[in-house]
C-alpha cells in the first residue's frame, strides 16, 4: 500500500498463487484446462470469473487458498464484497433455488441473472438509471452549446456526460479489443464458450454504437471518422503485441499541436494537466481516441453554430467564434 510498484508486486505475487490454484484444479479433476469449466481474468487484485455451477464452491475455496497464501482474505458475512451471480434462464433459476452453497452465500453477495447490475472494479455498471442519466439529452442555448466545445473549437471544454458518453465508450472498446480477444481465447480454452462467438458479440455491440454515433455527424466527415477508428484499432493491436513481447509500446500519433517543452518536466506547467490545455501531451490509448472523436464532433457543432449565427445575422458573435476556433488562435489566456 502506497509503494510506487505496489500494484505490480501485488499482481506478480497473486499471479504465482493463482497459477498454483489452476494447477490444483487440474490435478483434482485430472483434466486439461478445457475440461475445468472455469476461467478467471484479473486487474491487480480485482478478478472476474466464469465458473460452471458444479465446480463453483471447489473453485472458490481454491481461490481463497491462493489469496490466503499471500496473506490476504475475502470478507465474509455482512462485510463480504464478492459477488456471485447465476447466469441462466428464469426457468432454470426457478428450478434451482438452492444453487448457492452455504460457503458461497457466506462469502459472496448472491444474485441471479440480470436481477442486479454487475460490479466491476468496485463500481456497479449497466443499471438502467445510470444508463438513462448518461444518455439524457439537453436543449442548449448557443452560449451553452459553445461552452461545451473543446477550447480549440472556440469553447471552454465544459463537456456534458451525454455528449462524451458515446466517444468514451467507443474509444474504450477499440483500445481494449486486443485484450478482449485474449480473454476470449482463455474462455474458449476453459471449454465455456467459443472465442469467435464471444468476440463476435463484443464487436457487434461496438459496431452498433459506432453506427449510432456516426449518424450524429455530417456525412462529409464520415470518412475522416472511419480513418480515426481504423488507425486507433491498428495502434491498439501493435501496442498490445509489443507489450506481450516485452518491448516498448508503439508510439502514439495524436494529430494535435506539439508540446512546447522538448521533454517532460518533473512538475507540469500550470494548467497543462488539463486535457483542454493546448500544450498538454495527449494521453495514450482510449483517451487519445476519445479526444480525437470529440474534437471531430466539436468541429461539426461549431460549424452548425456558425451557420445559425449567420442566419440570425449575429455578425459580432459569428466573428468572435471564428476567431476563437481559428487554427492559429492562442488560448493560453484561459490558464493565465
Question: What are the tens digits of pLDDT across the range 117-152?
Answer: 555 555 555 555 544 444 443 334 556 666 666 666
Give the residue numbers spanning the domain of 151: 127-336
pLDDT digits (tens, 9 = 90+) for 264-321: 444 455 544 566 665 565 556 788 888 888 888 888 777 777 777 778 787 877 777 7
How far apart, in whole angstroms, are the C-alpha atoms of residue 292 and residue 256?
9
Is residue 38 assigned to a domain? no
Listed in sequence order, the residues at least 6 apart from 161 whose beta carbon sits closer than 8 Å to its beta carbon are 133, 134
Is residue 1 assigned to a domain? no
Residue 68: name the closest of 2, 4, 24 by CA.
24
Residue 115: name the closest of 127, 129, 104, 123 by CA.
127
For residue 66, list its beta bridge partners: none
Is residue 332 assigned to a domain? yes
Listed in sequence order, the residues at least 6 apart from 230 whose beta carbon sits closer than 8 Å to its beta carbon are none
Is residue 99 assigned to a domain? no
Give the pLDDT score at 137: 38
Is residue 181 assigned to a domain? yes
Q: Cα torsion at 16, 22, 26, 29 (round to 10°)? A: 130
- Which stretch of 221-230, 286-295, 320-329 has the lowest confidence by average pLDDT? 320-329
Judged against a pLDDT cut of 90, whether residue 42 lies above it is answered with: no
Listed in sequence order, the residues at least 6 apart from 299 whose beta carbon sits closer than 8 Å to its beta carbon are 153, 221
Is residue 226 assigned to a domain? yes
Is residue 62 assigned to a domain? no
Q: Cα torsion at 42, 44, 46, 49 (round to 10°)? A: 10
- The average confidence (pLDDT) of the chain is 77
How far apart, in whole angstroms, are the C-alpha atoms of residue 188 and residue 194?
5
Tally of domains in the chain: 1
Amino acid at each position: 500500500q502506497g509503494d510506487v510498484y505496489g500494484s505490480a508486486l501485488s499482481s506478480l505475487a497473486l499471479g504465482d498463487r493463482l497459477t498454483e490454484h489452476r494447477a490444483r484444479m487440474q490435478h483434482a479433476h485430472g483434466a486439461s484446462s478445457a475440461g475445468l469449466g472455469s476461467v478467471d481474468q484479473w486487474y491487480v487484485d480485482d478478478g472476474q470469473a466464469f465458473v460452471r455451477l458444479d465446480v463453483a464452491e471447489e473453485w472458490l475455496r481454491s481461490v481463497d487458498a491462493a489469496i490466503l497464501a499471500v496473506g490476504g482474505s475475502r470478507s465474509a458475512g455482512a462485510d463480504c464484497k464478492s459477488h456471485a451471480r447465476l447466469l441462466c434462464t428464469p426457468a432454470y433459476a426457478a428450478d434451482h433455488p438452492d444453487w448457492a452453497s452455504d460457503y458461497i452465500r457466506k462469502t459472496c453477495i448472491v444474485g441471479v441473472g440480470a436481477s442486479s447490475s454487475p460490479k466491476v472494479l468496485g463500481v456497479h455498471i449497466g443499471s438502467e438509471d445510470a444508463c438513462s442519466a448518461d444518455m439524457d439529452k439537453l436543449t442548449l442555448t448557443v452560449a451553452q452549446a459553445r461552452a461545451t466545445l473543446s477550447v480549440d473549437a472556440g469553447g471552454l471544454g465544459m463537456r456534458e456526460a451525454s455528449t462524451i458518453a458515446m466517444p468514451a465508450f467507443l474509444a474504450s472498446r477499440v483500445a481494449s479489443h486486443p485484450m478482449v480477444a485474449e480473454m476470449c481465447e482463455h474462455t474458449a480454452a476453459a471449454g465455456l464458450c467459443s472465442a469467435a462467438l464471444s468476440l463476435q458479440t463484443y464487436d457487434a455491440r461496438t459496431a452498433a454504437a459506432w453506427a449510432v454515433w456516426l449518424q450524429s455527424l455530417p456525412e462529409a466527415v464520415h470518412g475522416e471518422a472511419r480513418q480515426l477508428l481504423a488507425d486507433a484499432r491498428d495502434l491498439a493491436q501493435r501496442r498490445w503485441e509489443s507489450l506481450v513481447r516485452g518491448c516498448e509500446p508503439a508510439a502514439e500519433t495524436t494529430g494535435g499541436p506539439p508540446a512546447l517543452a522538448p521533454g517532460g518536466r518533473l512538475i507540469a506547467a500550470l494548467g497543462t494537466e488539463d486535457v483542454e490545455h493546448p500544450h498538454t501531451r495527449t494521453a495514450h490509448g482510449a483517451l487519445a481516441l476519445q479526444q480525437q472523436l470529440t474534437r471531430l464532433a466539436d468541429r461539426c457543432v461549431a460549424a452548425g453554430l456558425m451557420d445559425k449565427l449567420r442566419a440570425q445575422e449575429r455578425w459580432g458573435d459569428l466573428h468572435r467564434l471564428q476567431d476563437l476556433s481559428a487554427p492559429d488562435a492562442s488560448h493560453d489566456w484561459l490558464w493565465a
